[in-house]
Structure 1
């Protein structure tokens, strides 16, 4: 949500109406995009209505599906933890024009929100467990400009569920390795070994 002083009115002058639902393309909207987008689509395609309050508060909650790129480190596979980053910010407005903040930010001095995403309706993955999703507000200056540019970065830390890989990968590999080593402990005159040593062109003489 944000505040737009141009969209304020006195409810007493309009029959007590203190809230309106208007098409979102009829009002100003901040151009918040996902910087590390993976599919090249930086816009929210589905236009939904925005809620206007008489004090200038504008609420706009469009549904969206975001796809971001993530670097994976498989050094400790399948006992690995991965951290994926999703960076949101304005594409054209600097920090003086749009003061981007997390909705759960307690104070302007605290730039970290420990629980940055509501996971109450999250569909659990069969492969990953989400450990934490903190949100960090960053203020960055570039050499080209004197104005700061703001972004909110979500650090999604995930841990791989190891049961599937333990049963289907680790245990079979350990079993095969154990049987391979066990072959060398068989006696040299063992029937199984002697049978293996018999050449293919062996002909029995009557």
Structure 2
């Protein structure tokens, strides 16, 4: 009998060995303990997360979970064309998880446990006015700190893009107001309540990286509750209000200085001699400069905005003014260069040669006109004396008449030049007042 049992045992061992060789692996039982030494952290994670359901809110359904929310802004970018504000920040979320509590003395005095963000429940805090349809969990992949009392701290770095109403009327001296509205997407206020992080209503700006274009002048957090017609429960949210001020120092050199040069060039044309063709050249160059700036504005600013920036309206007005100034320059040059067949009307000449002309600074031209009139009178007297002693030769009378006519035309031309200069002086005064009005109107 014993021999039969031994044979059976030997046959069993042989068959077992053959089956293991054919399967390619062997198993060895070493006992209930693992091959390596487990730490207190391993034991704590095993005890907390073994049967943990991360899809269930870690509280009784009749109790609410209070989530403290704060934000530390790091950097921001404003896009006028898309009407969006991109904020790079660190969120601070704190809540209590009743399932994640332990006695620190039972686990080697562990006072904090690092857990991956996908291993436990998280509040579904969304950015309500987000410009992209993504939850906060898709922006980050950072660990969460859990403390023995069940308090959970999560500080994820986030990149938030929000829709923002753009006001560009006072560009580049504009100020923008933007909001970031946070709230739970599916839980109402009786399930998830929102509160300020450490009861702080101001946003921490100590970590802000200096922005060359924008300065944050105001950043506050406001908690509010809303009730919708569909539901009786309140829906709390926390709104972060940001006030941004553009730094205009660079734009002063790029935009404001050329505007001053355009005004000076436009006014300078009225002080050139009335016969100078440089009037047309200066006005043409000024027109090209304004057109280049209009193209720059079209690339820098959205064309479909509700508000047109005042600086754009100023340059557009300057373009109209310079065009009218060019027309006036053509009239003045034509008047002063063309030979006039008629005398300047007395009703126009008398004020120009009087106090009004002196007030316009026409003294030199008035003297030239007066000397011309005096010479014309002398020439007429001389011509009369010559004709009185003439022996009746008709050819000589004809030559004298032609010379007298040429002298009269030159004297007439002086008067028309005087009128052309007066038009320039009056235009200069008018344009000074016009530019002053435009500057005041578009700077307020």
Which bin holds the TM-score, normalised by the shorter protein?
0.7 to 0.9
Rounded to whole Å, the distance in 1 between the matches of 2:120 and 2:273 is 86
Q: TM-score, normalised by structure 2?
A: 0.40
The partner residue of 2:191 within 97, 107, 114 is 97
The partner residue of 2:125 within 23, 27, 32 is 32
Query: How much has 1:9 moved relative to structure 2?
Result: 1.8
Partner of 2:273: 187
SS at match of 2:113: strand
Rounded to whole Å, the distance in 2 between the matches of 1:37 and 1:103 is 21
Q: Which runs of 5+ in 2 are unaligned?
A: 1-93, 282-328, 335-444
Q: 1:90-111 CA deviation, whole Å, 9 max, x = no partner?
A: 11111111111120326xxxxx
- Residues 136 and 158 of structure 2 are in contact (CA less than 8 Å); yes or no, is this contact kept in structure 1? no
Partner of 1:204: none
**1:113-152 mapped onto 2 (5 Å cutoff):** 113=201, 115-116=202-203, 118-152=204-238
Q: Which runs of 5+ in 1 are unaligned?
A: 107-112, 200-206
Rounded to whole Å, the distance in 2 between the matches of 1:10 and 1:119 is 37
**1:27-176 mapped onto 2 (5 Å cutoff):** 27-45=120-138, 46-105=140-199, 113=201, 115-116=202-203, 118-176=204-262
Between 144-153 and 188-197, report the one with greater CA deviation: 188-197
Q: 1:144-175 CA deviation, whole Å, 9 max, x = no partner?
A: 11111111111110111111111100110221
Query: How much has 1:191 moved relative to structure 2?
Result: 6.0
Structure with the largest fraction of strand = 1
- Residues 125 and 184 of structure 2 are in contact (CA less than 8 Å); yes or no, is this contact kept in structure 1? yes
Query: How much has 1:11 moved relative to structure 2?
Result: 1.9
CA RMSD of aligned residues (A): 2.2
Larger radius of gyration: 2
Q: TM-score, normalised by structure 1?
A: 0.84
SS at match of 1:21: strand
